[in-house]
């Protein structure tokens, strides 16, 4: 006969089943009513804010605002991703990873933009997904790196190509959801507008019609970064653009920097307006950040001068830089990089071999069309800086190539070549040159180094041959184009411009045979005096 089940066991089992059932019902309801629940949560937040004010009108704490804004952004998961995207006309998705620094920087800006858009009544829904936690769902959306922003319109994705500040996110979102231009009808509206926007395009038209106005609207739709504003009231226009002189039709850009107002002076055509904005949207001196770096590099101005300095030093020279930048606007872009920011500065400085430099100000330049680089090697005074920019614009600067200090090769069996001595030792010498090209990170280079040293000892007395090596990581020359390491290049005495590339798998005997075949002594007897030594060694 079986024993009766104790009452306490039945009670526990019943409670457990009820708990599981409750959680299941809650989960289903949560999935079905996620957006409704979100609205309720925000309503509770607003009530809590009102109670916290206590009728005294005190502002909600900044932390509370951020917390509230972050809750507006829907957190997607494996189950909800497609439902949210397919169930809404406009969804902007942020794909992130918890460990990604740029994702962490992006989160508060994304939340702030969500809060602003909600207050505006914009239909765009902002959502985020932890691509590390839900890799399959993220991959299905097309998220491959972090952070990634994608806009979904009726379930179909579009790449995000706007800026990364909260303001830029809002501008881009409004344009993509059918509000490319803000219309202002009163002076008060204009004052409220300029309190919110640092950079914008203002268009003044007597009537919102005609070919010019249509081109203005087309440009507003095509541009993804700058807020366009229009008015037909001259007083409103002058609040937005105080430098407005004529009551006629007008277009201009406003920025929060010394060069605050720039007028458009061409015919109203979409492409001309967009070109005008591309040349004038940046500050006179751009401060490089990780968030704006892509926009700066991909800008229309391909001649770029970088000024590396500490923040205090930059403040001292900023006005000078702006004066120089104003003279080369739309031709040369000036960019400031905090030299203490390794992630931003070091990759550039390494290109010049200056990552360990103790200079307080370093000025370098790039021609991004020609993939060439230049260095201001004199004092960065205003006149020198201006001449440097002028030389870059006119193409008269000498390209810069990295080089270590000139070495002492008097006792060396294998000569060390650097960027500064490549011409004299390799190209201009009357001897044959066997050059080993190596780098510190090359695993096979150490074996090659030993081979070359043995070879140099065997042919030590051969005057018509120089055996040398160069570290390509810190030395450059326009005639040295190597993409694999180690590389062995043989420069014949009578044809230095056409070096022979030898296999880096060649053994000592094969290298010696090659030298015997290609290098002759002064009496043209070859190198037979070394043959037996090499044969014995092998």
Q: Residue 368, Cα to own-chain centre: how many angstroms?
A: 14
Tokens of 343: 């992630």
- Residue among 485, 488, 490, 487 nearest 516 (CA): 490
Q: Could you give phi then psi for residue 298, rounded to 5 degrees?
A: -90, 5
* β-strand pairing of 500-502 with 487-491: antiparallel
Radius of gyration of the chain (CA): 34
Active site residue 100: yes
- Does residue 141 contact residue 150 with C-beta atoms inside 8 Å? yes
Tokens of 485: 């390491």
309: left (phi over 0), alpha (psi -120 to 50) or beta: beta
CA distance linking residue 50 with residue 65, whole number of Å: 13
Number of Cβ within 10 Å of residue 437's Cβ equals 23
Tokens of 32: 């079905």
**Residues sharing a CB contact under 8 Å with residue 434, sequence separation 6 or more, in sequence order:** 452, 455, 465, 466, 467, 468, 488, 489, 490, 491, 511, 515
- Residue among 212, 211, 190, 210 nearest 202 (CA): 190
Give the max Cα distance, the chain: 116
Active-site residue among 12, 279, 389, 442?
442
> Could you give the angle at which helices 270-280 and 211-222 cross, rounded to 10 degrees?
50
Per-residue burial over 375-401, b = 16 or more CB atoms within 10 Å of its CB, e = otherwise: bbeeebeeeebebbbbebeeeebeebb
Active site residue 442: yes
309 beta partners: 338, 361
- Does residue 457 contact residue 506 with C-beta atoms inside 8 Å? no
Q: Is the peptide bond before 486 cis (omega within 30 degrees of 0)?
A: yes
Active site residue 389: no
- Does residue 335 contact residue 304 with C-beta atoms inside 8 Å? yes
Provide the 3-class DSSP secondary structure of residue 470.
strand
CA distance linking residue 148 with residue 239, whole number of Å: 38
Active-site residue among 12, 279, 389, 445?
445
The CA angle 356-358-360, to the nearest 5 degrees, is 125
DSSP string covering 436-447: EEE-TT-STHHH
Number of Cβ within 10 Å of residue 92's Cβ equals 26
- Residue among 269, 352, 295 nearest 160 (CA): 295
- Alpha carbon dihedral 430, 435, 440, 443, in 10-degree steps, equals -170
CA distance linking residue 309 with residue 467, whole number of Å: 41
Active-site residue among 12, 100, 279, 389?
100
Q: Which of the residues are catalytic?
A: 100, 442, 445
């Amino acid at each position: 006969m079986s024993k009766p089940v104790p009452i306490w066991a039945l009670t526990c089992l019943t409670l457990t089943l009820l708990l599981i059932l409750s959680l299941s019902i809650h989960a289903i309801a949560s999935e079905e009513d996620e957006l409704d629940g979100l609205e309720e949560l925000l309503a509770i937040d607003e009530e809590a804010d009102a109670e916290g004010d206590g009728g005294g009108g005190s502002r909600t704490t900044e932390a509370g605002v951020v917390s509230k804004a972050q809750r507006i952004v829907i957190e997607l998961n494996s189950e909800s991703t497609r439902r949210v995207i397919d169930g809404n006309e406009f969804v902007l998705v942020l794909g992130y990873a918890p460990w990604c620094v740029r994702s962490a920087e992006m989160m508060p800006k994304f939340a702030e933009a969500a809060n602003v858009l909600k207050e505006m009544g914009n239909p765009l829904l902002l959502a985020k997904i932890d691509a590390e936690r839900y890799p399959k769902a993220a991959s299905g959306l097309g998220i491959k790196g972090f952070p990634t922003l994608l806009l979904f319109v009726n379930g179909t994705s579009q790449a995000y190509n706007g800026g990364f500040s909260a303001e830029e996110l809002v501008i881009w979102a409004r344009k993509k959801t059918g509000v490319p231009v803000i219309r202002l009808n009163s002076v008060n509206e204009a004052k409220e507008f300029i309190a919110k926007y640092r950079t914008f395009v203002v268009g003044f038209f007597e009537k919102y019609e005609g070919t010019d106005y249509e081109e203005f609207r087309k440009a507003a739709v095509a541009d993804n970064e700058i807020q366009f504003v229009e008015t037909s009231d001259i007083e409103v226009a002058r609040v937005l653009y105080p430098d407005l002189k004529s009551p006629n039709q007008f277009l201009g850009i406003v920025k929060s920097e010394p060069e605050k107002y720039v007028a458009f002076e061409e015919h109203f055509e979409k492409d001309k307006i967009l070109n005008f904005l591309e040349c004038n949207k940046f500050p006179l001196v751009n401060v490089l950040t990780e968030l704006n770096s892509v926009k700066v590099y991909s800008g229309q101005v391909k001649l770029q001068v970088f000024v590396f300095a500490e923040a205090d030093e930059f403040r001292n020279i900023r006005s000078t830089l702006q004066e120089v930048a104003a003279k080369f606007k739309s031709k040369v872009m000036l960019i400031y990089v905090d030299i203490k920011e390794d992630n931003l500065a070091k990759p550039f400085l390494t290109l010049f071999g200056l990552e360990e430099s103790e200079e307080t100000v370093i000025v370098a330049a790039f021609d991004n069309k020609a993939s060439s680089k230049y260095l201001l090697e004199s004092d960065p005074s205003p006149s020198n800086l201006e001449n440097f920019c002028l030389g870059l614009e006119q193409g008269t600067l000498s390209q810069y190539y990295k080089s270590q200090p000139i070495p002492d090769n008097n006792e060396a069996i294998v000569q060390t070549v650097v960027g500064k001595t490549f011409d004299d030792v390799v190209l201009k010498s009357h001897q044959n040159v066997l050059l080993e090209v190596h780098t510190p990170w090359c695993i096979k280079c150490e074996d090659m180094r030993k081979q070359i040293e043995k070879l140099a000892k065997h042919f030590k007395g051969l005057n018509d041959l120089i055996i040398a090596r160069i570290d390509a990581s810190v030395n450059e020359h326009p005639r040295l184009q190597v993409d694999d390491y180690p590389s062995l290049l043989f420069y014949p005495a009578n044809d230095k411009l056409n070096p022979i590339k030898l296999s880096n798998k060649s053994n000592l005997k094969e290298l010696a045979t090659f030298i015997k075949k290609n290098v002759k002594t002064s009496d043209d007897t070859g190198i037979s005096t070394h043959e037996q030594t090499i044969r014995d060694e092998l």
